[in-house]
Amino acid sequence: MTLGFGGEVAEYYAKFRRGYPSELFDALQAAFALTTDDAVLDLGCGTGQLAVPLASRVRSVIGMDPEPDMLRLARQSAAGRGVTNATWVVGGDTDVPALGKVAGPRSLAMTVIGQALHWMRHEDLFHDLKPLLRPQGGIAVVTNGTPLWLQDTSWSRALRTCLERHFGTELTAMCGTSPQERRAYARALDGAGFHDVQEVVTEYSDELDFDQLIGGIYSAIPEGELPAPQDRAAFAEHIRQALPTDQPFTEQVRVCALIGLTR
């Protein structure tokens, strides 16, 4: 079952979702001792922001996502960067046991899940993944900053107010980035038998222009709720008028990898 993030939403995702800093990939390679003999799984891979850069560090990458449009764009991104060792599979967290029957036990060095775990049944998933992971392999749950409308800045608060009025609902979901969610994931990793559970954090500042801001919003709206093409100019102008004009759209981005190892 797809989650409504296909079509134009996937296009916005590919164009406007930020990538990950090289420090994250260095940390993952060190934590799991990744080599060019290893295979890794990017579960909920989206358009390949993690899978494509990881491919140069390992033998092969499996990118798995329930949205065919996301995988189509991931495949295009991989081809554009000369990546030939990535396989793209339609599926979600409940398909992991079936994947294990094909890949075999202890066939993966790492499963990475980037800002998608909040859509999954994480406790079941961690148990299902464990037999697929080699010794000293494991799971990395990665987040890539707080949602645009939930940050601690005046422009983010103004954006949240505007979006809540437009959609008629309170926006509170942190998409797996809150301390409470991270602690719950850590407890679940421990409960599934992973050890040395820890977080590796990289922080940096980024400045968005207005087109990036709007594109980021469109990348997070389910396809059925995306403003119609003829309405997007008005929607964007409505957002623009709601935001402060005397400051840049600066983000403090906290990239966090929650890591659990197998024995």
- Tens digit of each residue's pLDDT (9 = 90 or more) over 92-151: 999 999 999 999 999 999 999 999 999 999 999 999 999 999 999 999 999 999 999 999
Q: Tally the domains of the chain.
A: 1
Residue type present at position 99: L
Compute the average pLDDT of residues 71-87.
Answer: 98
The pLDDT of residue 151 is 96
Asked whether residue 108 is assigned to any structural domain, the reply reads yes
pLDDT digits over 162-191, tens only? 999 999 999 999 999 999 999 999 999 999
Inform me whether the pLDDT recorded for 1 exceeds 80.
no
Look at residue 247 in the predicted model and tell me its pLDDT: 80
3-state secondary structure of 49: coil
- Mean confidence (pLDDT) of the chain: 96
Is there a domain that residue 166 lies in?
A: no
Does 193 reside within a domain? yes
Mapped onto helix, strand or coil, the DSSP state of residue 106 is coil
The boundaries of the domain holding residue 61 are 7-146+174-208+252-261
- Does some domain include residue 247? no
Q: Vertex 90, ends 45 and 197: CA angle to 5°?
A: 40
Is the overall model pTM greater than 0.75, yes or no? Answer: yes
